[in-house]
Amino acid sequence: MSDDEKGVADAGKASGRVDPLGTNSEIGRKLRQYYDELVSDDVPDRFAQLLSQLEGAETSRKEG
């Protein structure tokens, strides 16, 4: 275990809770933050138009 991992484990013990994932929890938090920011971004109008056209083409293809 590295010194950083020991520090994280010691911090968890001091706070009364043990993080079973250790340093992986921090990675998970960072990924979740990045994902949340990405999902909250608006879809560009041109991309939304292209998706709408694709959906319309698929619907007409299924009907015909």
Q: How confident is the model at residue 39 (pLDDT cuts 50, 70, 90)?
A: confident
Instruction: Give the per-residue pLDDT at 46.
Output: 93
Looking at the 3D structure of the chain, how many domains does it have? Answer: 1
Distance CA 51, CA 49 (A): 5
Judge whether residue 11 has pLDDT over 70: no
Expressed as residue numbers, the domain containing 55 is 3-63
pLDDT above 70: percentage of residues in the chain: 72
pTM of the model: 0.39
Region of 22 (left: φ > 0; alpha: ψ -120 to 50; beta: rest) is left
CA distances from 54 to 21, 46, 62 (A): 42, 12, 12
Which two tokens mark 45?
């109008």
